[in-house]
Amino acid sequence: MKRIGVLTSGGDAPGMNAAIRAVVRTGIAKGWEVWGVKGGYQGLITGKILPLGARDVGGIMQRGGTILGSARAPEFKTEEGQLKALRTLNEQGIEALVVIGGNGSQTGSGALHKLGFPVVGVASTIDNDLYGSETTIGVDTALNISLEAIDRLKTTASSLQRAFMLEVMGRDCGYLALMSAIAGGAEACVIPEVETDPEDLAQRLRAAYQKGKEHAIVVVAEGAKYNAETLGQYFSSHRERLGFDLRVTILGHVQRGGAPTAYDRILASRLAAGATEALARGEFGVLVGLNQSKITTTPIEVVNSSKKEIDMELFELAKILD
């Protein structure tokens, strides 16, 4: 093997740049040329590929986002688009590809693998919903951002003696919300994996004040049936009967931004190095992840056909600790 490619795809995650850096430098250490694909799978289709040297990735580790960029690529979902991408790789003499991203990105890597192209995925998504890795690049940074928001909301909630609700990202996975609630000492947590009754939630918040608490914080996942918008409307329309309403804060894409934590930088470096190691030993069509503190590989077919479940013991723990 003489030349490999690397791309980032899907939603950006803090630590992606550290992963790009590690792919480039470990690849060069193996005697390979490393080329970067600009704009994810769309860049593969249009041929936006450039060589990356060790100095090209210097000073990027502390930056959020991805220097390679990402873009939607509906054309890549078609066989024609995938064949265009494959043609670009062949024309550029790229013999293998490292794909840094989450579920959608690894679906794409699986498509290339089925076409016979050597590909290795690196687990990267703040949602932590990707099967094959206990934790993924960007999760720790996103958790710390939501934790800071909870701590700040507690200060003003205690001053005003009001209930506040914080909506965090995570798509259809409640991991970020659940772990944020535990770490932040929230009074309640609403996640897609557990049915929530707004009346029960109101009772729990009222009980918190009856116990003498000066604040009440609810952390809700954006993908929950009762997300911040619907819960806010419910409490507002029933304010007279419930006795209070909820002040809503939505983190949104703020949670993706900022410098990655030390943990995410180290995790990204380890996973990316694991990806080039997999390529070197001829192990293709796998996702590189972290399990029981060890770098592991999982067949991409298994990753894309499996669902990562939340540990419900943690949800019970959150209820006990609220």
The answer to whether the annotation marks 169 as part of a ligand binding site is yes
Express each pLDDT in 65-88 by its tens digit.
999 999 889 999 999 999 999 999
The answer to which of 181-195, 210-224, 232-246, 302-316 has the lowest mean pLDDT is: 232-246
Q: Is 217 left (phi over 0), alpha (psi -120 to 50) or beta?
A: beta
The answer to whether the annotation marks 250 as part of a ligand binding site is no
Read off the pLDDT of each residue in 158-175 and give the average, rounded to a whole number.
87
Read off the pLDDT of each residue in 112-136 and give the average, rounded to a whole number.
97
**pLDDT at residue 135 tops 80:** yes
CB 118 within 8 Å of CB 151 = no
Q: Which amino acid is at 49?
A: I
Q: 93, 322, 143: which is closest to 218 by C-alpha?
A: 322
The answer to whether the annotation marks 42 as part of a ligand binding site is no
Read off the pLDDT of each residue in 144-171 and give the average, rounded to a whole number.
88
Read off the pLDDT of each residue in 223-230 and give the average, rounded to a whole number.
92
For the whole prediction, is pTM greater than 0.85? yes
CATH 3.40.50.460 domain residues, the chain: 141-257
Q: Is 154 left (phi over 0), alpha (psi -120 to 50) or beta?
A: alpha
- For residue 190, the cross-strand partners are 220
The answer to whether the annotation marks 170 as part of a ligand binding site is yes
CATH number of 3-138+260-305: 3.40.50.450
**pLDDT at residue 151 tops 90:** yes
Express each pLDDT in 104-121 by its tens digit.
999 999 999 999 999 999
Express each pLDDT in 32-68 by its tens digit.
999 999 999 999 999 999 999 999 999 999 999 999 9
Read off the pLDDT of each residue in 137-159 and give the average, rounded to a whole number.
91
Query: Residue 279: pLDDT band by 50, 70, 90 thresholds?
Result: very high
Mean pLDDT of all residues belonging to the chain: 93
CATH 3.40.50.450 domain residues, the chain: 3-138+260-305
The answer to whether the annotation marks 152 as part of a ligand binding site is no
Query: Residue 202: pLDDT band by 50, 70, 90 thresholds?
Result: confident
The answer to whether the annotation marks 126 as part of a ligand binding site is yes
The answer to whether the annotation marks 255 as part of a ligand binding site is yes
Q: What pLDDT is recorded for position 25? A: 98
- To the query of whether residue 127 is one of the catalytic residues in this protein, the response is yes
The answer to whether the annotation marks 16 as part of a ligand binding site is no
Q: Please pick, among 12, 56, 127, 322, the residue that the annotation labels catalytic.
A: 127
The answer to whether the annotation marks 239 as part of a ligand binding site is no
**pLDDT at residue 161 tops 70:** no
The answer to whether the annotation marks 22 as part of a ligand binding site is yes
Q: From CA 145, how far away is CA 169, in angstroms rounded?
A: 11
State the fold for domain 141-257.
Rossmann fold (3.40.50)
Q: What pLDDT is recorded for position 46? A: 95
